[in-house]
Structure 1
Amino acid sequence: GPGGQCPRLPQLTTGPSPNGFNLAPFDRQLKRKQKNWAALQPEPAKYDYLREEVGGRVADRVFDITRTFSLALDVGCGSGYIAQYLNKETVEKLFQVDMAENALKNTMETEIPTVSIVADEEFLPFKEDTFDLVVSSLSLHWVNDLPRAFREIHQVLKPDGVFIGAMFGGETLYELRCSLQLAELEREGGFSPHVSPFTDVTDLGHLLGRAGFNTLTVDTDEIQVNYPGMFEVMEDLQGMGESNCSWNRKPILHRETMLAAAAIYQEMYGSNDGSVPATFQIYYMIGWKFQESQARPAQKGSATVSFGDLAKINSLISREKK
C-alpha cells in the first residue's frame, strides 16, 4: 500500500531476563493488564466493532464445514466474539480461554454450553487429542512464541480435527506506523516501534505446516475504519486492549512529536471530509490435524487444491501406478 515507504519493523526484540538476554518481544503481564483494563471500561462494547466483525467471519468459516463439533475450544476468546455467532447444531460444548479474567467475566450470552478458563494462550491446560475444533480470533499476534502456540493447538486437537483462526497481518495500521515513524525521524532523529511487529502471510503457512497441520488454507482481507483523526485511532486501540506491549517500546512520545504525527497522518492519508482511515489486515487460516486410520470425508468445496498439496498428490499417483 502507500505505506511502502516506511522502514520495516524488526521482527525480534529483546526483553529483560535474568541472564540479560531474552528473545521474547512482548511483555505478557503488561498485555494482560491492558486487556483487563479495557474490559473494565464503562462501555467496553464501544471498542468491540473490529472483534465482532472478525469473530463473525471466523464463525462463517466454521459453518462452511458441514459437521457437528462435539467439543470446541476458543483460544483468546475475549468476551466471546466467536461464540455469540455459533449454534448447538455446529458446536455442542465450548471451552473459552483467555489470559484476562475481566474479559471472561464479560462473556456474552450464547445458546452453547460454555466453560471459561483463565490461561495463557501459549500454554493450553488441556490433554492431547481433546477437541474436535479449535478457533481463535485476533489474540495470537501478542503471543511471544507463535510456533509454540500453533504446536499446542495442534496437540490438543483430535485427529481429523480442525483449527480455524484469524490474526492481524503485516499491513495492519501502516498509516499509523508511518506517521509516527516520520514524525519521530523529523523531531527526534530516530524512531522506535510503537505498533507491534506483525507476522507475514508467507510465514504463516510455513509455521502452521511446521506445527503439523495439513490441508492448509490461508487467505487475507482488509478492514478499513475511518476516524476523526490519529488521536481517536490511538484511543480506540487502547480501548480494544491493543496498545503496544513490546519490551522495546518507548515509554512516552513527546507531545510535539504526537502533534506532528497527527498532521502527517492527516496530510498523507486524510479524506476530503477530514477523516483518516486505519487499515486492519486480517489473515484467516484453516488447518487440519491428520488422521492416519481413514480417508477424510470430502469437505465442501474440496475440488480446489492448494499448490502445497500438488506435490503430495503427484507422489500418491505415482505410487498407485507401481
Structure 2
Amino acid sequence: MTTPPKLTDRLALTRNRGRADAMFLQAAAADDVQERLQEVNRTFTTPAVVTGFPATWAEWMPSAKVVEDTETLDLEEGAHDLVVHALSLHWADDPIGQLVQCRRALRPDGLFIATLFSGQTLHEMRSVLAEAEVTQTGGLSPRVLPMAEVRDLGGILQRAGFALPVADILPLTVTYDTPIHLMRDLRAMGESNAMAARQKTPTRRTIFAQAMERYVDAYAMEDGRIPATFEITTLTGWAPSESQPKPLRPGSATTRLSDALGTVETPLDRSED
C-alpha cells in the first residue's frame, strides 16, 4: 500500500504558528465551544483540548489537558469525558485518524467537539490568485488549503465511530482596507501557506499585483473595503454507550403518522399500475 502524499509541511506550519499573534478567530471558535458546552446538561470533569496553540487554549480552558495537534496525539485511552479539537483539523494529513484517536481518548458517552475551517473559507483569495497565476504562467501552484464541505465532514464523524454525529457551519465575514492587509492578517494568525506541495521559489510580484487588483475589482464593498469569508465548521459526536438513545427498527412503529398529525389517511390508488 502506497503512503498518501503529505498535505502539510509540519516544520513550516510550526514556524508560522510560532510568529502568530492574532487570535481573534481562535477566540471566536473558543466562544462557540463554550456556548455549546453550556447547552449540554452535563458537568465535564476531565476535558482535553487538541490545538496548534496550546498556550492560548490553556488560558481559555484552564481545567483541560492541552496537547498539540501532532500526528500521534498525547491522549490516554478512555481518560476524558470531553475532547475538543480546536481549529486545527484542517491542517491534518489524516483527519479521520485524528478523530479516531480523540474517540479512543473518550470514556463511553463522552463528548467530542471539533472546529475547523471549511467550505467557502477564503474563496475570494483562492479565486483571484488562481486567475492571476493561470494568466501569467499557464499553471497553478497550491496556495490555499483545500476546504472540505460540511456534508463530507459529517461523514467522517461516522467513519471515526462517533454516535449521534452533527456538523454545522458558523459563517464569518471579516473586512479589510486592502487585500494586502488580509494577507498580513493570515500571517499573524499562523494560517499562511504551509502546504507540503507549495511552490518553494519566490512568486512573481506581478502575480500578486494582478491578484490584488482582481480582488478589489470583483469584491470591493461600497466603502472600498474588501471582504474575506471564513467558514468554521463545528463537528459534535459522542463516544458510543449503551445508555444512548437508539433508532427504532424499520416497521416497528405502533402509531400511524396520520393519527399523530390528526389527518385522514388516503390509500394510494394502484388501479392504473
Q: How many angstroms apart in 1 are the aligned matches of 2:247 and 2:85? A: 30
Contact kept, 8 Å, 1:62 with 1:164, in 2: the verdict is no
Counterpart mapping for 1:32-47 below 5 A = 32-38=14-20, 44=21, 47=22
Q: Equivalents in 1 of 2:110, 2:160: separation in Å?
A: 14
8 Å contact from structure 1 (residues 135, 163) kept in 2: yes
1:124 aligns with 2:124: no
Matching residue of 2:30: 55
Q: 1:255: which partner in 2?
A: 205
Partner residue, 2:128: 179
Distance 1:157 1:175 in 2: 38
Give the Cα–Cα distance (whole angstroms) in 2 for the partners of residues 73 and 95 of structure 1: 5
Distance 1:126 1:241, change over 3 A: same
Letter paired with 1:96:
V
Residues 135-188 of structure 1 deviation map (CA, whole Å, 9 limit, x = unaligned): 122111101100100100000011110001211112100000001001111122
Rounded to whole Å, the distance in 2 between the matches of 1:62 and 1:77 is 21
What does residue range 91-102 of structure 1 map to in structure 2 within 5 Å? Answer: 93-98=63-68
Aligned 8 A contact 1:162 1:288 in 2: yes
Instruction: Provide the rounded CA distance (Å) in 2 between the counterparts of 1:313 and 1:67.
Output: 23
Task: Indicate how the Cα distance of structure 1 residues 248 and 225 shifts in structure 2: closer, same or farther if over 3 A, else same.
Answer: same
- TM-score of the superposed pair, with normalisation by structure 1: 0.73
8 Å Cα contact 2:173-2:227 kept in structure 1: yes
CA–CA distance in 2 between the matches of 1:214 and 1:80? 31
Aligned residues: 254
Kept after mapping to 2: 8 A contact 1:55/1:81: no
Counterparts of 1:84 and 1:61, CA distance in 2 = 18
The aligned counterpart of 1:315 is 249
Shift of 1:21: 6.4
Partner residue of 1:9? none
Matched-pair contact (CA < 8 Å) for 1:180–1:258: yes
Structure 2 residue 258 is matched with structure 1 residue 288: no
Stretches of structure 1 that go unaligned for 5 or more consecutive residues are: 1-19, 39-43, 88-92, 100-119, 297-311
1:82 deviates by 5.4
Which stretches of structure 1, 4 residues or more, deviate above 6 A after TM superposition?
none
Q: CA separation of 1:202/1:276 partners in 2, compared to 1, >3 Å: closer, same or farther?
A: same
Residues 38-96 of structure 1 show CA distances to partners (whole Å, capped at 9, x for unaligned) of 2xxxxx2xx11111112101111111112111100010061565565558xxxxx3101
Distance 1:213 1:179, change over 3 A: same
CA distance in 2, matches of 1:165, 1:313: 25
Equivalent position amino acid for 1:37 in 2: R
Per mean C-alpha deviation after superposition, the further-off stretch among 197-206 and 139-148 is 197-206
CA deviation string 1:22-49 (max 9, x = no partner): 42211112211211232xxxxx2xx111
Give % identity: 33
- The TM-score normalised by the length of structure 2 is 0.86
More contact order relative to length (CA 8 Å, sep ≥ 6): 2
CA distance in 2, matches of 1:279, 1:295: 37
Instruction: Sort the Cα spacing of 1:70 and 1:218 in 2 relative to 1 into closer, same or farther, 3 A.
Output: same
Could you list the runs of 5+ residues in structure 2 that have no partner in the other structure? 256-273
CA RMSD of the aligned region, Å?
Answer: 2.4
Contact 2:133-2:140 within 8 A present in 1 as well:
yes
- Measured in 2, the distance between the counterparts of 1:165 and 1:149 equals 10
